[in-house]
Amino acid sequence: MSTNEHRIDSVEVLLLDVPTIRPHQLSMATMRTQNIVLVRIRCSDGITGWGEASTIGGLAYGEESPESMRANIETYMVPILVGADAASPGARMLALRSRLQGNRFALCAIETALFDAQARRLGVPLSALFGGRVRDSLPVAWTLASGDTARDVEEAERMLDLRRHNVFKLKIGKRSVRSDVAHVAAIKRTLGERASVRVDVNQAWGEADAVLGMRLLHDAGADLLEQPIAAANIEGMRRLRDMNLVPVMADEALHGPVDAFRLAERRAADVFAVKITQSGGLTGAQEVAAIARAADVALYGGTMLEGAVGTIASAQLFATFPALAWGTELFGPLLLTEEILTTPLEYRDFALRLPTGPGLGIELDDDKLAFLRRKDR
Positions in the binding site for Mg ion (CB under 5 A):
200, 226, 251
Q: Which is nearer to ligand MUC, 283 or 303 (CB)?
A: 303
Closest C-alpha among 229, 137, 244, 133 to residue 177:
229
Nearest approach in angstroms of CB 11 to ligand MUC is 27
Active site residue 346: no
* Interface pattern 218-257 for ligand MUC (x via CB under 6 A): ---------------------------------x------
The entry of Mg ion, ligand MUC, none near residue 127 (CB within 5 to 8 angstroms by kind) is none
Q: Which of 64, 111, 171, 226 is catalytic?
A: 171
Q: Which is nearer to ligand MUC, 93 or 141 (CB)?
A: 141
Q: Using an 8 Å Cβ cutoff, are 243 and 231 in contact?
A: no
**DSSP state letter for 327:** -
Are 32 and 336 in contact, with CB atoms under 8 Å apart? no
Contact 86, 8 (CB under 8 A): yes
Position among 329, 340, 347, 355 found at the interface with ligand MUC (CB under 6 A)? 329
171 annotated active-site: yes
Q: Quick check: 64 binds ligand MUC (CB under 6 A)?
A: no
Alpha-carbon span 126 to 115, nearest angstrom? 7
Query: Is 202 a residue that touches ligand MUC (CB under 6 A)?
Result: yes
Helix axes 308-318, 282-295, angle to 10 degrees: 40
Tell me the window of 10-18, 104-112, 256-264, 297-305 that interacts with ligand MUC (CB under 6 A).
297-305
Among 52, 64, 306, 329, the one annotated catalytic = 329
Q: 374: which DSSP letter?
A: -
Q: Does residue 57 contact residue 35 with C-beta atoms inside 8 Å?
A: no
Q: Is residue 303 within the footprint of ligand MUC (CB under 6 A)?
A: yes
Task: Check: CB of residue 248 under 8 Å from CB of residue 269.
Answer: yes
Q: Residue 167: which of 200, 213, 203, 205 has the closest Cα?
A: 200
Q: Which residues are catalytic?
A: 171, 329
**Binding interface with ligand MUC (CB under 6 A):** 56, 143, 145, 200, 202, 251, 302-303, 305, 329
